[in-house]
Structure 1
Amino acid sequence: MGFIEYTADSMPALLGATLEHTVLVLQGLGLAVLIGLPLALLTYRHRSRGAVLAVAGVFLTIPSYALFGLLITPLGLGTAPSVIALTLYAFLPVIRNTVVGLREVDPAVVESARGMGLSRTQTLLQVELPLALPVIVTGLRVATQMILGIAAIAAAVNGPGLGNLILQGLTSAGTPFAVYLTLQGVIGIVVLAILFDLFFAALGRLTTTRGMMIRA
């Protein structure tokens, strides 16, 4: 049986693993945004932003297997340690790009908004954030592409996703379908990466247009 025939026969399991992988990545990214975006908004004009970025950067230096393993003790096996690990890895691009995007807004535009009577909060929400959105979206794009691959390691802690197919293939090396399982997992992640990239590219164009309208 060839790879195409094997994939056709196992399509329900492959689609299920792909959906699990997608949900896992979205959960990790969503948590990173819910926590990282407010942190960036609170610190982008304060000296503490350096400390926040440094802490977020430290997480990226921890080897993936080690981080997943360390989270087993407090969180157990399964989805919980997988989501938290992906969240920690996504922090840096989310926070850094939000800070950079906000700090790159032309001060003259901010002063003009304040001169029109907008409060500090109104200026942030109505002027600075829309202008910074293209850079923020780029951070989300980078974070997503990064954790899509890292999410495969979730299989090592009984997490969901395409990593389980890769792990099954590697642990059954020498059997007839070991390579097929590994290929399914790898190709599934590559396809998801392309789809997510296309989505964020379209979102980036929309936010750029929005920012240009506000600047005008």
Structure 2
Amino acid sequence: MWEFVSERWQDIAYRAFQHTSLVVQALVLATVIAIAVALLVTRVKALEPVANAISAIGLTIPSFALLGLLLPLVGIGTLPSVLLVTFYATLPILRNAVVGLMGVSPLLMESAQGMGMSAFGRFLRVQLPLAWPVIMAGLRTSAQMSMGVAAIAAYALGPGLGQYIFTGLTQIGGQNAVPYAVVGTVGIIILALLLDAILLLVSRLTTSKGIRA
């Protein structure tokens, strides 16, 4: 195993960077989409059950099945990987964003309006900061799930360590089958733990001290 890693450490490091980059970019897109949809839900309360249903049902769709639907539409490579990871990343964030934004006291919003704040100002300075810890909890859950989904996206020749896992599976019985699968799997686990630690730190740094747990 050590010889396998030492001979390929540069490729492993590059694929680990690709994997992390794919997940982080998808998380950024997913967060923007989720907060925008959640904000719409807070304005149109009838959309809340719809958003919750989409979050729940979306998570039950097998990632391989969705990837199979994407391939005829967008081909193979990076694009289907980004779309796949972004879709699944959005769901936990959306659910938590709806809960967080809806949980802000209407009295606080009315007080902010009475102080002359615009709708955008109330969202940016009152609603979003109060809902932020809940949103970040969803973001951390989404990050862990996205690491695994990004590995599955390698089936469509997407970037990342998932290629090592699929290479190992296709070479079962071969000399390097196990090292390929182990390096890919362990590498993704390590990346997931590191990303979660970074997001936890970001959550603490960006959460107001008055509401920090």
Q: Which runs of 5+ in 2 are unaligned?
A: none
Q: Does the residue aligned with 2:89 lie in a helix, a strand or coil?
A: helix
User: Which deviates the most, 24-33 or 162-171?
Assistant: 24-33
Q: CA deviation at 1:210?
A: 4.9
Tell me, in whole angstroms, the C-alpha distance in 2 between the residues paired with 1:101 and 1:21.
29
Q: How does 1:97-116 map to 2 (within 5 A)?
A: 97-116=96-115
Inter-partner Cα distance in structure 2 for 1:129 and 1:211? 14
One-letter amino acid of the structure 2 residue matched with residue 87 of structure 1: T
User: Percent identity, aligned pairs only?
Assistant: 45
Tell me the residue number matched to 1:42.
40
Alignment-derived partner of residue 60 in structure 1: 59
Contact 1:97–1:139, Cα closer than 8 Å, also in 2: yes
**Kept in 2: contact 1:28–1:90 (CA 8 A):** yes
Q: Is 2:124 aligned against 1:125? A: yes
Q: 1:150 is paired with a residue of what secondary structure?
A: helix
Let me know the Cα RMSD of the aligned residues. 1.6
- Unaligned runs of 5+ residues in structure 1 are none
CA distance in 1, matches of 2:51, 2:20: 28
1:194 corresponds in structure 2 to 193
Deviating 4+ runs (over 4 angstroms): none
Task: Report the Cα distance in structure 2 between the residues aligned to 1:160 and 1:65, rounded to whole angstroms.
Answer: 16
Kept in 1: contact 2:129–2:208 (CA 8 A): no
For residues 5-51 of structure 1, what are the alpha-carbon distances to aligned partners after superposition, in whole Å with 9 as ceiling and x for unaligned? 22122101101111111111122222212322211111124211221
Tell me whether 37-46 or 15-24 shows the greater mean CA deviation. 37-46
**Counterpart residue number, 2:5:** 7
Give the alignment's TM-score, normalised by structure 1. 0.91
- 1:117: how far off? 2.1
Residue 175 of structure 1 corresponds to 174
Residue 30 of structure 2 corresponds to which residue in structure 1? 32
Q: Is the 8 A contact 1:28 1:86 kept in 2?
A: yes
Residues 131 and 211 in structure 1, CA contact (< 8 A), matched pair in contact too: no
Q: How many residues are paired up?
A: 211
Which residue does the alignment assign to 1:148?
147
C-alpha displacement of 1:211? 5.5
Q: Secondary structure at the match of 2:46?
A: coil
Amino acid paired to 1:49 = E
Cα offset, 1:192, TM superposition: 0.6
Letter in 2 for 1:16: Y
Amino acid in the other structure paired with 1:188: G
